[in-house]
Structure 1
Amino acid sequence: MPRPVWSGAISFGLVTIPIKVLPATENHSISFHQYHLEDMSRVRTRKVCEIDGKQLTSAEIGKGYEVSKDTIVAVTDAELDEMPLPTAKAIEIAAFVPYESVDPIRIGEGYYLQADGQVAAKPYTLLRKALERNSKAAVAKFAWHGRERLGLLRVQSGVILLHAMKWDDEVRDPQQLAPKAVDVSDEEIDRAVLLIDSMTADGIAGQDWATDRYTEALEQLINSKAGGKKPPKPDEEEAPAGGQVLDLMAALQESVSKAQAARGESGGSGDSGGSGKNATVHEMPKKRAAKKTTAKKSAAKKSTAKKTAAGRKTAPKKRGA
């Protein structure tokens, strides 16, 4: 079990719930050190005083704010802890909101809240069951790492979770990034919805695609080089045809067929019109070729009909002679 990163209490009206905050996630990424390429010696970052050039330890380093070029105000950790701030040692619930109303872009790191002691067990359970019953999430304020933060409390698997959130002014306005207005037909939207339905899963956990393939490939690379072997080569994949303009509807339908095939479903119901035919990217040129062949056949039939008619006209003359 990970060590607590913070301890305090949840302020729920006049109810106080002592809690411990534990990390809810783990980082399995592979980290690298910096080395000198010439002799592979370690390159380290050292904290050195600008005046005497002495390398400093963590105990010799403190916090300070530069008011002006020649004036620095030193601030100690004890002064930060003693600030007259209600959220300095408490997660103060400000309101309750529907969980669906929270924009996911505002939600940050997640933490588990553990009841601290037997005294906290009953109010902790009370808050958890109240949140479960009305399907609400609690918006709270708390102070960590030298700043006051906005938080979101929700329930998962019988445990209260705390998510750090962004303030309103920390979320950029995305309107300037939206593309210009374009015309999209209802048929294209229906086909895109069909593709979404074909790729819909019950959840993220346990899926074949929910794996970190980059870390796995990186581990294989390190193990191969450590054993004196050559790094594994990537699998050759068919490159997409460059410069080819595809029909959007045909591309959507081909994606639907592939998604249905991956799920073991038949592709006969892929056409939204109910015809049962699966369009492909190469179907449109074939149809044009068929039209040309039909036109040639019809022309040949006309010429044959003319010759037959001419032959019928000359036949009576021979009989008369």
Structure 2
Amino acid sequence: MARPIWTGVLTFGLVTLPVGLYTATEDHTVHFHQLQRGTSDRIRNKRVNERTGKEVDSQKIVKGYDLGDGEYVVVEPEELEEIAPGRSKVIDMAGFVDLRQVEPVYFDRTYYVGPRGKEYLKVYELMRAALERSDKAGIATLTMRGKEYLTALRAQPNALVLHTLHWADEVRDPAGVVTDLPDRRSKAGGRELRTAEQLIDALSIDWEPGEYRDTYEERVKKLVEAKRKGEEVVGEAEPPEATNVVDLMEALRRSVEQSGSGGSRGKRSGSGGKQSTGRSRDGGKGSDLGSLSKAELYERAGAAGVRGRSKMTRDQLVEALSGKGAAA
């Protein structure tokens, strides 16, 4: 079994739970060494004094904050340790937020949270189940390895997970990074928007991460093997051309037709595989639901107190709001 990278206690209110954090992901990237071309000689990185050209031992290196014009403020490692937050042992929940309010851009690394002993399983499962049913995440700060993190605690089906988050000033404003973003006052055409939503519905599927794999890594391994055998390496096809704005509606229409005339291509629902058209058939209170976007349906589901709405597809939201689907 893996060893926790951090141990401490998780608290919310007067409830305290001893926990450990475990790394949730691992890197499977193919790694290469640097070689001098035409040889098998490895290239090594060295710390070199740029003025003398001589290598410097790591023990003789200090940190310097650049003030400009070649002037530095020198900071010793022990000085940084003295002002560090320290090795905190508490993850104290400051509050709980709706998961939909946390933009994915804020998420950084993920850790599994485990109880430190079987005697804590009941408290652990109580916290996990409560977070899962509420569709919320607990927000807290955590000090680990001399650094303070903003974190979000949420529930998976059988475990608690902790995400480290970027601080607000670390997330760039897209308007200051991306050129030619649409103006907020500009709106997509009604007919085109409805067709695009129809296409999204037609291509909606359940999230099954095991169905996807890193094909680039596989191609890298094939490239290495082909070069080892002296075989010819075949490149990938060029990407398709961009869609012309004039042809946008036609491209959307044909895409819907290819996906099954607006049907649920590849969709797997939680009701034994039964597929839904996305419109209420009762002609009553849910008769207008089929014209709403998923975001609008989600808002209505929230107002109606529909449980589990964050995990529902658009069709399931329609069924739940029309009284035909399970709202639990």
TM-score range, shorter chain: 0.5 to 0.7
Unmatched 5+ stretches in structure 2: 268-276, 278-328
Taking structure 1 as reference, are residues 125 and 229 closer, same or farther at Cα in structure 2, changes over 3 Å only?
A: same
Alignment partners' CA distance in 1, 2:122 and 2:47: 48
Match of 1:125 in 2: 125
Q: CA deviation at 1:161?
A: 0.2
* Residue of structure 2 in register with 1:211 after alignment: 213
Q: Equivalent pairs: percent with the same residue?
A: 33
The correspondence of residues 261-300 of structure 1 with structure 2, limited to 5 A, is: 263=265
Deviation at residue 130 of structure 1 after TM alignment: 2.7
Corresponding residue of 2:229: 227
Letter in 2 for 1:90: V
Alignment of 1:128-277 (within 5 A): 128-175=128-175, 177=178, 178-180=181-183, 181-182=185-186, 184-207=188-211, 210-234=212-236, 240=241, 246-260=246-260, 263=265
TM-score (norm 2): 0.66
| Unaligned ranges ≥5, structure 1 | 270-321
The one-letter code matched in structure 2 to 1:162 is L
Structure number with greater Rg is: 1
SS, match of residue 209 in structure 2: coil
Following the alignment from structure 2 to structure 1, what is the Cα–Cα distance between the partners of residues 105 and 161? Answer: 17
Question: Cα distance 1:121–1:245, how it changes in 2: closer, same or farther (>3 A)?
Answer: closer
Counterpart of 1:106, as a letter, is Y
TM-score (norm 1): 0.67
Q: Is the 8 A contact 1:220 1:232 kept in 2?
A: no
Distance in 2 separating the partners of 1:205 and 1:220: 23
Q: Classify 1:173/1:245 alpha carbon distance in 2 versus 1 (closer, same or farther; 3 Å).
A: closer
**Which position in structure 2 is the counterpart of 1:278?**
none
Q: Which amino acid aligns with 1:192?
A: A
CA-to-aligned-CA distance 1:122-171 (integer Å, 9 cap, x gap):
43233223323433210010123433111000011221100011222222
Code of the aligned partner of 1:72: V
Give the total of aligned pairs. Answer: 258
Give the secondary structure class of the aligned counterpart of 1:247. Answer: helix
Counterpart in 1 of 2:76? 74
Give the match's secondary structure for 2:260.
Answer: helix
Q: Secondary structure of the residue that 1:76 maps to in structure 2? A: helix
Amino acid at match of 2:195: R
